[in-house]
Amino acid sequence: MNSKNNTKDLLADSLKELMVKKSFEKITIKQICDATGVIRIVFYNYFSDKYDALEYIVDRDLYETVLPYIKCKKEKMHLRS
């Protein structure tokens, strides 16, 4: 994984950790940056806002995890027909 992805993932992981502790609406970009140890401008190099970061988390953690199972199920259904 290159450093660009590492920083993006670190920011996303910080948001995930903050969401465990408080509601999403109360989380600020500053809190995400402070937890990651980066300045605010770095956050905006990767995300337009915290909603964009949340979408990235969903894509990364949910979609990429579930996709292999969906493909497998489709293949099994195709074999049955």
> Which tokens hold the place of 2?
């290159």
Q: DSSP per residue over 28-39, as a string?
A: -HHHHHHHHT--
CB atoms within 10 A of CB 15: 23
pLDDT tens digits, residue range 38-59?
A: 999 999 999 999 999 999 999 9
Rounded to two decimals, the pTM is 0.75
What is the total count of domains within the chain?
A: 1
Structural domain span for residue 64: 3-80
Cα separation, 22 vs 48, whole angstroms: 21
The answer on pLDDT for 73 being more than 80 is no
Based on C-alpha coordinates, what's the Rg of the chain? 16
> Which tokens hold the place of 81?
């027909």
The answer on pLDDT for 23 being more than 70 is yes
CATH of the domain at 21: 1.10.357.10
